[in-house]
């Protein structure tokens, strides 16, 4: 027998409270669904909002049932959207819709579990370059990773200008496109600032007097650190490492370099010199959010002597295994709600609300009303 845990109306006090299993709602009939059978309806005693058992399902407001586990497994092993759509005999837009739902689940779980981390290690940060829509619109996606655990704490998106050698025709076209899409000002600076804020939050929760943050020698990183307050500079010790050094385990940037390699290997949007590049910036970041969930909470931390280690990167960072199992148990079934998620970063909220601008796209991204509840 399904029992709702809270009122789905975000304006109701019962949406946020820890409620008893019964007493705050009444049953309000049922209805028949061709896809899901008979579904029980409820009504909140406090605000009068009506809802059903299906409101709390990840399949809320869908017209066809698909295996989220199948989509997830293909998404993290470099399969393209059309490949997965052909496998499941649906349209590519249907697969994109399910990935959006998985991304919101991944953001909610990561926001909840990452608050369990009490930082006992240093951090590394770097950005890897890709592109969206066209190679005239490169981007820099910043990553914040634990130096020892390789736990992926945060990611943030920044637009770049196209650089490198171009023909005269390409230069003219690049100038024309930059005139039509001008969102580059201080984008690297702003994006890296978000990672620094996350670092300060992690340092504050850990109780450590300071934390070392390793980056390469990018000039914008130095400017961000220079603009910190004296107190913040004492809390973060910035260490600059040359990007020309060998990318071995002895390199202080190994953990973020390793993650860069894994993303390019496992995410079809960023595999070099293929036709499977991202066409939409929000879709691109949603797939990375799903991959972050896989990397942190599903993937083994180490593989040695042909035997898989049972410890994940999240456990290595100090998150209890029981908490991880409890979240994964309902990851593919129980819908998370935006207003109930605690500890969500600015970058993750932009992923959830699909507010990252895609180059040359004139209209805002479509956001269904239920996504903001």
Query: pLDDT tens-digit profile of 193-238?
Result: 999 999 999 999 888 899 999 999 999 999 999 999 999 999 999 9
367 within 8 A of 353, measured Cβ to Cβ: yes
123 within 8 A of 214, measured Cβ to Cβ: yes
Dig out the tokens for 255 from the structure.
């953990």
Predicted pLDDT at 22: 81
Predicted pLDDT at 369: 87
Predicted pLDDT at 51: 94
pLDDT at residue 178 tops 90: no
Predicted pLDDT at 363: 83
* In the chain, % of residues over pLDDT 70: 97
Predicted pLDDT at 309: 60
pLDDT at residue 23 tops 90: no
Query: pLDDT tens-digit profile of 102-146?
Result: 999 999 999 999 998 999 999 999 998 889 988 888 889 999 999
Domain boundaries, the chain: 13-56, 68-372
Mean pLDDT of the residues in the chain:
90
pTM exceeds cut of 0.75: yes
180/296 Cα distance (integer angstroms): 38
Query: Taking residues 336-357, what's their average pLDDT?
Result: 92
Query: Taking residues 40-44, what's their average pLDDT?
Result: 94
Distances (CA, A) of 313 to 22, 163, 252, 305: 38, 35, 18, 19
47/371 Cα distance (integer angstroms): 20
Predicted pLDDT at 160: 86
Query: Taking residues 323-345, what's their average pLDDT?
Result: 93
Helix (H, G, I), strand (E, B) or coil at 141: strand
pLDDT at residue 175 tops 90: no
Predicted pLDDT at 156: 93
Predicted pLDDT at 94: 95
Query: pLDDT tens-digit profile of 280-316?
Result: 999 999 999 999 999 999 998 876 655 556 789 999 9
Predicted pLDDT at 183: 65
Which strands, in side-by-side order, build the sheet including 138-146? Answer: 152-159, 138-146, 123-131, 211-215, 236-240
């Amino acid at each position: 027998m399904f029992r709702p845990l809270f009122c789905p109306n975000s304006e109701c006090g019962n949406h946020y409270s820890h409620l008893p299993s019964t007493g705050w709602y009444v049953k309000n009939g049922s209805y028949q669904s061709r896809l899901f059978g008979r579904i029980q309806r409820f009504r909140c005693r406090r605000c009068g909002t009506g809802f059903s058992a299906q409101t709390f399902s990840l399949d809320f407001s869908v017209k066809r049932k698909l295996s989220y586990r199948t989509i997830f497994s293909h998404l993290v092993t470099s399969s393209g959207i059309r490949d997965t759509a052909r496998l499941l005999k649906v349209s590519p837009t249907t697969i994109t819709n399910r990935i959006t739902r998985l991304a919101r689940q991944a953001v909610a779980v990561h926001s909840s579990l990452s608050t369990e981390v009490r930082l006992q290690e240093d951090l590394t940060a770097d950005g890897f370059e890709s592109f969206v829509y066209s190679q005239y619109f490169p981007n820099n996606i910043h990553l914040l990773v634990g130096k020892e655990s390789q736990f992926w704490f945060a990611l943030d998106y920044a637009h770049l200008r196209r650089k490198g050698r171009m023909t005269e025709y390409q230069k003219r076209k690049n100038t024309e496109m930059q005139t039509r899409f001008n969102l580059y000002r201080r984008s690297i600076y702003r994006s890296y600032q978000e990672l620094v804020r996350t670092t300060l939050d992690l340092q504050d929760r850990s109780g450590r007097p300071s934390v070392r943050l390793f980056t390469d020698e990018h000039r914008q990183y130095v400017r961000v650190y220079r603009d910190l307050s004296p107190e913040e500079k004492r809390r973060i010790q910035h260490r600059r490492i040359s990007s020309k050094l060998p990318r071995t385990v002895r390199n202080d940037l190994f953990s973020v370099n390793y993650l860069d390699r894994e993303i390019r290997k496992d995410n079809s949007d960023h595999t070099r010199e293929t036709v499977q590049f991202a066409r939409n910036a929000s879709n691109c970041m949603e797939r990375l959010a799903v991959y972050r969930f896989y990397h942190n909470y599903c993937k083994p931390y180490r593989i040695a002597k042909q035997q898989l280690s049972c410890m994940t990167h999240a456990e290595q960072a100090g998150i209890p295994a029981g908490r991880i199992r409890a979240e994964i148990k309902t990851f593919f079934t129980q819908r998370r709600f935006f207003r109930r998620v605690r500890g969500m970063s600015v970058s993750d909220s932009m992923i959830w609300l699909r507010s990252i601008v895609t180059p040359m796209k004139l209209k805002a991204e479509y956001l269904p009303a239920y996504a903001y509840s």
